C-alpha cells in the first residue's frame, strides 16, 4: 500500500510540475504538450516489450544464477558481465531500470547494477560503431576503455556508500 501511495504521489508531483510549467511558459505550450504526448506514446510502445522481457527474466534466470554471476562475490567477472549486459542493447535508459530492479531482487550487487546502468547509458556497442566511423578507432577505444574503468570504480564506491536497503522498495 505504501508503494502504491508513493507511486501516485510521484505521478501527482510530475503532473503538478507539468501544469506549473504550462503556466510559466505559455509560449511553449504547444511544444510542451507535443513532447509529452510523443514521450507517452514512445513509452506505451516500449513498455509492453519491457514487461515481457521482465517476465522472461524472472522465469528463466534463477536467483542463484544472478547471485553467482552478479552478486557481491562475483568480483571482476561480475563487473565485466555487467558491462557486457549494459552495452549490448540499444534503447532508452528507462527500459533498463525495471531490469535492474529485478536483478537487485535476485541478488545482484549494487556495484554491478551501477555498472549495468552506466554501461547502458554510455557504452552501447551498436552506437560505438557510429563513433568509430566519425571519430576513429583511437578515440573510440580510449573513451570506451576509460569509461569502463571509471564505471567500475564508480560502482565500487557507490556500493561502499549506499545501503541496498535504503532504496529498494
What per-residue confidence (pLDDT) applies to 3? 75
Can you tell me the distance from the alpha carbon of 124 to that of 127, in angstroms, rounded to the nearest whole number?
5
| DSSP string of the chain, one letter each residue | -HHHHHHHHHHHHHHHHHHHHHHH-GGGHHHHHHHHHHHHHHHHHHHHHHHHHHHHHHHHS-HHHHHHHHSGGGHHHHHHHHHHHHHS--S-GGGHHHHHHHHHHTT--HHHHHHHHHHHHH--HHHHHHHHHHH-HHHHHHHHHHHHHHHHHHHHHHHHHS-GGGT--
pLDDT tens for 82-125 read: 999 999 887 788 888 888 988 999 999 999 999 999 999 998 88
Last residue of a domain, one of 52, 69, 84: 52
My answer on whether 93 and 45 are in the same domain is no
- Domain total in the chain: 2
My answer on whether 135 and 166 are in the same domain is yes
Domain with 10 in it: 1-52
My answer on whether 35 and 80 are in the same domain is no
What per-residue confidence (pLDDT) applies to 168? 56
My answer on whether 66 and 39 are in the same domain is no
My answer on whether 68 and 140 are in the same domain is yes
In Å, how far are 69, 71, 101, 148, 167 from 63, measured between CA atoms?
A: 10, 10, 13, 26, 20
Q: Which residue has the higher pLDDT, 169 or 81?
A: 81
My answer on whether 2 and 81 are in the same domain is no
My answer on whether 169 and 101 are in the same domain is yes
Q: Which residue has the higher pLDDT, 142 or 33?
A: 142
My answer on whether 82 and 116 are in the same domain is yes
pLDDT tens for 14-29 read: 889 888 888 888 898 8
My answer on whether 44 and 67 are in the same domain is no
My answer on whether 26 and 80 are in the same domain is no
My answer on whether 78 and 134 are in the same domain is yes
My answer on whether 47 and 65 are in the same domain is no
What per-residue confidence (pLDDT) applies to 25? 87
Amino acid at each position: 500500500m505504501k508503494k502504491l501511495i508513493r507511486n501516485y504521489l510521484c505521478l501527482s508531483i510530475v503532473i503538478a510540475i507539468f501544469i506549473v510549467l504550462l503556466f510559466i511558459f505559455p509560449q511553449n505550450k504547444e511544444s510542451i504538450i507535443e513532447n509529452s504526448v510523443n514521450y507517452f506514446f514512445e513509452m506505451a510502445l516500449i513498455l509492453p516489450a519491457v514487461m515481457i522481457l521482465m517476465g522472461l527474466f524472472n522465469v528463466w534466470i534463477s536467483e542463484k544464477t544472478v547471485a553467482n554471476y552478479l552478486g557481491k562475490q562475483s568480483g571482476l567477472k561480475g563487473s565485466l558481465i555487467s558491462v557486457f549486459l549494459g552495452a549490448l542493447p540499444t534503447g532508452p535508459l528507462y527500459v533498463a531500470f525495471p531490469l535492474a530492479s529485478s536483478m537487485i531482487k535476485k541478488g545482484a550487487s549494487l556495484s554491478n547494477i551501477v555498472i549495468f546502468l552506466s554501461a547502458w547509458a554510455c557504452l552501447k556497442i551498436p552506437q560505438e560503431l557510429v563513433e568509430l566511423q566519425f571519430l576513429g578507432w583511437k578515440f573510440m577505444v580510449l573513451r570506451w576503455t576509460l569509461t569502463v574503468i571509471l564505471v567500475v570504480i564508480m560502482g565500487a564506491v557507490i556500493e561502499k556508500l549506499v545501503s541496498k536497503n535504503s532504496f529498494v522498495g
